[in-house]
Amino acid sequence: EITDKNSMNNIWHILNNAFVSAAGPGDNDDKPPSGSVYLPGNTSTTSTMSANAPDGPVTAVATLTATLGTSGAASAVIPDDVITDAIANAQAVARAQGKTAHGTSIALNVTMPMGATSLTAILTQSSLNALVSAGVSGLELNGGPVSLSLDLKALQEIQKQSDGKIIISIAPFAGLSNEAKSLLGNRPVYNITI
């Protein structure tokens, strides 16, 4: 749940240990991360449906391939057609199965290149608007260092606070205190920014 418009630290469901920080509204809107490359040939727009609980949403799964940049940094630009095709496929299956009341969700499975230790994924404002307009119950980003799930409320809040592309960065966090290190042991810790 979001505590206030200026603090987005509580909007993520993280499926691994992580420290979460959020860039402020307007930060990096017009600056693609170093090494970002859009390669249409490396993007699959084919969606598949995941096995869902009988009362859960229909989930369309799309696969993307990240590109390796420098220092283990991988990046993936999420094309608009991947999002719109996934939404359309999920909605069609939900209608065909009589599950429209359960909603739809989108999962993006990112294939990480060998040697990648961090991921930057870029979602356009148009794609974000499509996800919110469709009322998806969630957007999952899987395959990176951690899996990230944003529910509809989080997507709506990100939409309110942004007017450009949305940059999701997941990178190892190295600035732990000794006390935190002793509590976490050798578990990985990540810094996530949106």
Q: Which is more confident, 53 or 107?
A: 107
Per-residue exposure over 87-108, b if at least 16 CB sit within 10 Å of its own CB, e if not: bebbbebbeeeebeebbbbbbb
Q: Report the distance separating Cα 23 and Cα 21, nearest Å.
A: 7
Quote the domain boundaries for residue 116. Answer: 12-193
Is residue 186, in this structure, part of any structural domain at all? yes
pLDDT at 128: 98
Q: What is the pLDDT of residue 157?
A: 95
**pLDDT at residue 53, rounded to an integer:** 62
Number of compact structural domains in the chain: 1
Looking at residue 97, its pLDDT comes to 87
Residue 1 is assigned to a structural domain of this protein? no
User: Is 3 within a domain?
Assistant: no
The residue type found at 132 is V
Q: Which alpha helices (DSSP H) does the chain contain, by range?
A: 80-96, 125-134, 152-161, 178-184
- Domain contains 7: no
User: pLDDT tens-digit profile of 63-86?
Assistant: 999 999 999 999 999 999 999 999
**Comparing 11-20, 33-42, 148-157, which segment has the lowest mean pLDDT?**
33-42
Q: How much is the pTM?
A: 0.73
The verdict on residue 5 lying in a domain is no
Kindly state whether residue 4 falls inside one of the protein's structural domains.
no
pLDDT over 90 (residue 105): yes
Name the band, by pLDDT with cuts 50, 70 and 90, for residue 55: confident
Task: Give the pLDDT band (50/70/90) at residue 117.
Answer: very high
